[in-house]
Amino acid sequence: MARGDPQQRLEKVELDEGSLAALSPEQDDERKVAIVDLLASNSFIPDGAGVGPFRLGLSTQEARLALDVSGPEYERRFLLSLSPLRGVIKDYFLLCESYYAAVRNATSSQIEALDMGRRGLHNEGATLLKERLEGKIEVDGDTARRLFTLICALHWRG
């Protein structure tokens, strides 16, 4: 299937409630926005799948990320080690905490600097995720960014 095909997309995303980390209200809002944005616009092409749309279930199992993908005549579980993402996730959450604290009492230039760093780490995590998915699921950059946000929600245990 060709990239940009409207049927090569996600129509539903579910996060395993038992895998969800305890998040701050701001982080929980980011997770919810990521799901809404992901469903509004995404490119998702699982290896060996025909035409979608697809459903995605995300969970963690023994330090691995489980991606349960299903669609018309397609059902498959992909498992990814979270080890390569751990450092980026940890740094991302530390920067997010600093950013949220700064929003309450820092100067606009301090907030902007933290936000730029946060976005940079988010992009780094999305790029790494996209590489880890290579040969399994093809996603575009925006889809990888939103999936990285959801993985952070599942993975981080504070």
Look at residue 42 in the predicted model and tell me its pLDDT: 94
Distance (Å, rounded) from C-alpha 104 to C-alpha 18? 31
What's the CA gap between 49 and 54, in Å, rounded? 9
pTM, entire model: 0.85
Contact 86, 60 (CB under 8 A): no
Question: What pLDDT does residue 3 have?
Answer: 47
Q: Which residues contact 83 (CB under 8 A, 6 or more apart)?
A: 63
Q: State the 10-residue block means of pLDDT for the chain, 158 residues long.
A: 69 84 73 89 93 93 91 94 89 85 88 89 95 96 92 68
What pLDDT does residue 2 have? 44
In a domain, 129, yes or no: yes
> Is residue 138 assigned to a domain?
yes
Structural domain span for residue 24: 10-155
Q: Is residue 34 part of a domain?
A: yes
Residue 5 lies in a domain: no
3 in a domain, yes or no? no
Does residue 4 lie in a domain region? no
Cβ atoms of 23 and 100 closer than 8 Å: no
Report pLDDT for 1: 41
pLDDT of residue 30: 77
Domain membership of residue 122 (yes or no) is: yes
Instruction: Tell me if 83 is assigned to some domain.
Output: yes
Number of domains making up the chain: 1
DSSP string of 76-132? Answer: EEEEEESHHHHHHHHHHHHHHHHHHHHHHHS-HHHHHHHHHHHHHHHHHHHHHHHHH
**Model pLDDT, residue 152:** 84
